[in-house]
Structure 1
Amino acid sequence: MPDSCSDRTEKDKKHSLNIIAEVSKLADENLSLIRSISTCLAVAGVIVIARSIRLMSKFGSPSEIPSRFIEKNVSLRGKVRSVTERGLEVEHVPIHIPLLSPLLTKRQVTTPLRVHLAGVDLTPEGREWLAETLRTDEMVWLRLISRQDESLHCLVSLGGRLLFNPCINEEILRLGLGRTAPLHGLDPRSRLYWRLHTRLLKCELRAERKGQGFWKQESLREKLTQAIRNNSMIAAVRRIVKWLSRTKDQ
């Protein structure tokens, strides 16, 4: 009896080994097929994830940007197209991944996004500075702060320069080419509001202390000249002198 049990166990072991051997042989013969299937599944997974988070989507209007992007202050990349009254027009440039991007991009949107400089009221000099500083097709990063109607309020940074990528909002205030303004779309009691507003105020105070741009103080000579020009008595004397001069010539 024990011998029969032992023989049966040996047969079961051999049978199991034969199955394993057959499976291994089949896997070896179809290794390339298995690899191809694994690769296809991985690519499909990446496509599904990319579509769900809109990683490679090109946005042609603020309404197309997911609300979670605004809430998390995601940064988008883009090319400057023009300078406007309150900021810029920027064409969104999505992340490009070879082979995958053509599969996910159904259409190319060329409409630029209207971007306001968050927390900044531009002066005419500020708009001129923007036009001189940001060339057409200049790459910039837009840190999303809020969305208002069909425009975005963003912190704008230069994106194509290697060593120094200044925040344009701060730079304008630092040069005295704008004034601080409320951060539209943010709760004034929130930590983010006060953190950003404090940064911008510091830049404005620096310009005021240095007398730059908007805060430039007139020299004493300029003030005296302006006061003399605006003095009504001196203006009357000038008119009398001119009248006497014309009378004498006649």
Structure 2
Amino acid sequence: MPDEQPARLDEVDDKAKNIITVVSKLADDNLTLLRSVSTGLAIVGIVILGRSVKLITKFNAASEIPARFIERNVSLRGRVFRFTDEGLEVEHIPIHIPVLSPLLVKCQTGAPLHVRLAGVELTAEGREWLRRQLKPAETVWLKLIRQEGDTLDCLVSRGRGSLFSTYLNEEVLRQGLARSAPILGLDHHSREYWRLHRRLLKAELHAERKGRGLWRESSLWERVSVALQESFVGRSLKSLLSLTSRTKDQ
């Protein structure tokens, strides 16, 4: 009897080793399959996530942008397409994910987005300044503020639009080529509104102090010339010159 018990224990150990060997072999043989399944599930998850939050969607119109993007003031990347009387047109550049983006983005071309500079009333000189600052096909960032029909009111910058970046909205005011305006689309009682509005007012005040653009003071000669033109003597002189000119023509 004592000899039979060790024999049975050895037999149990052998069976356990055989089971472990078989399981290990199955795991090794199917490791590639398991990895493929895991990769496939990960890709499906990324696709579902990308579609649900529209990270890789190309927007060809303001109406296509989700309302939550506007509410959260999301920043979109785009490429300058052309300039308009109201601002500029920008071709949206969606987030690119290798391999997946070509499969999910059906059309790489489309209509550009109509963009206005939020909180700014551009002058004709301001529009010309904007054309000189931005080159066609240059990359810009649009911080979404408001959607009005097919137009987006945005804070436009060359950088990502962080706290330390300068918006073109500020720069055109700093040059005295625009006037500040209420930032429509933001809650006027919110901290974000007053933070941005303060930055725009500060830029406009800088132009006024420096006498730039709209705030440029006329020289003494210019003021005298305007006063003479509006005075009785000026009008009389102008009439005399006009009469002399007609007499010579006759």
- So what's the TM-score if we normalise by structure 1? 0.86
Give CA-to-partner distance per residue, 1:117-173, whole Å, 9 cap, x none. 01001001001111222121111110111212221111001259xxx9641111100
The alpha-carbon deviation at position 91 of structure 1 amounts to 0.7
The equivalent residue for 2:102 is: 102
The equivalent residue for 1:73 is: 73
SS at match of 1:46: helix
Contact 1:148 1:185 survives alignment (8 Å): no
Matched, 1:40 2:40: yes
Matched, 1:64 2:42: no
Matched, 1:181 2:173: no
The equivalent residue for 2:154 is: 154
| Unaligned runs of at least 5 residues, structure 2 | none
The alpha-carbon deviation at position 90 of structure 1 amounts to 0.6
Q: Pairwise CA RMSD of aligned residues?
A: 2.9
The alpha-carbon deviation at position 55 of structure 1 amounts to 1.1
Q: 1:201 to 1:12 in 2, by over 3 A?
A: farther
Matched, 1:85 2:122: no
Task: Provide the C-alpha distance between the structure 2 equivalents of 1:242 and 1:106, rounded to a whole number of angstroms.
Answer: 68
The alpha-carbon deviation at position 208 of structure 1 amounts to 0.6
SS at match of 1:185: coil
Superposed, 1:116-131 pairs within 5 Å as 116-131=116-131
> Number of aligned pairs?
246
Alignment-mate amino acid for residue 128 of structure 2 = E
| Unaligned runs of at least 5 residues, structure 1 | none
Task: Provide the C-alpha distance between the structure 1 equivalents of 2:145 and 2:154, rounded to a whole number of angstroms.
Answer: 5
Q: 1:242 to 1:27 in 2, by over 3 A?
A: closer
Superposed, 1:1-250 pairs within 5 Å as 14-159=14-159, 166-237=166-237, 239-240=239-240
SS at match of 1:224: helix
Which segment is superposed worse, 225-234 or 195-204? 225-234
Task: Provide the C-alpha distance between the structure 1 equivalents of 2:16 and 2:135, rounded to a whole number of angstroms.
Answer: 72
Alignment-mate amino acid for residue 64 of structure 1 = E
Identity %: 54
Alignment-mate amino acid for residue 114 of structure 2 = R
SS at match of 1:143: strand
- So what's the TM-score if we normalise by structure 2? 0.86
SS at match of 2:36: helix
SS at match of 2:108: coil
Q: 1:224 to 1:4 in 2, by over 3 A?
A: farther
Alignment-mate amino acid for residue 81 of structure 1 = F
Alignment-mate amino acid for residue 29 of structure 2 = E
Task: Provide the C-alpha distance between the structure 2 equivalents of 1:85 and 1:45, rounded to a whole number of angstroms.
Answer: 44
Q: 1:202 to 1:241 in 2, by over 3 A?
A: closer
Contact 1:120 1:181 survives alignment (8 Å): yes
Task: Provide the C-alpha distance between the structure 1 equivalents of 2:9 and 2:85, rounded to a whole number of angstroms.
Answer: 88
